[in-house]
Amino acid sequence: MTPLGGYLLIAVLMFAIGLAGALVRRNAILVLIGIELMLNSANLNFIAFWRYGPHPEALTGMMFAIFSIAVAAAEAAVGLGLVIAIYRHTHTTEIDKINRMKG
């Protein structure tokens, strides 16, 4: 196994764990945590390919990872704001109990 392969496998494992968390858990905050884990594994892929790619001085993978971190932070703020707004309305954060479109 080459070093790049090791990092890519860790990223795949993190992505699968995050996907399982987003699909399996009932709490909306845990779904957001799963999405954050998936975004992080994508960042690990960007950095690994930047490190072992043919032109690391071009900084492409590094830039993509930095912008991805910024977008993920914005997503986390809006997502958790939505969870708090829904909780104020329905007094629950469990997704399978939020099954009405009319408040």
Partner 1 sequence: MTVVFYLIAALTVAGALAAVLLKNLVHCALAVTVAFGGLALLFLSLDAQFAGFVQILVYIGAVAILIVFAILLTRGSDVPKDGVFSPTWLTGVAIAAAVFAVIGWAVINSVNAIPQQAAVPHVTVHDIGIALVGPYVLPLEIVALLLTAATVGAVIVAMHEKGGSE
Nearer to partner 1, 57 or 101 (CB): 57
Nearer to partner 1, 29 or 100 (CB): 29
Q: Does 42 bind partner 1 (CB under 8 A)?
A: no
Decide: is 54 part of the binding site for partner 1 (CB under 8 A): yes
Q: From the CB of 38, what's the least distance to partner 1, in Å? A: 10
Beta bridge partners of 94: 27
Class of residue 18 by CB neighbours under 10 A (exposed 0-12, middle 13-18, buried 19+) = buried
Check residue 35 for interaction with partner 1 (CB under 8 A): no
HSE value, Cβ hemisphere, 13 Å, CA-based, for 28: 20
Residue 17 has what DSSP assignment?
H
Candidates 42, 70, 99, 101: give the one binding partner 1 (CB under 8 A). Answer: 70
Q: Would you call 99 helix, strand, or coil by DSSP?
A: coil
C-beta closer to partner 1: residue 100 or 103: 103
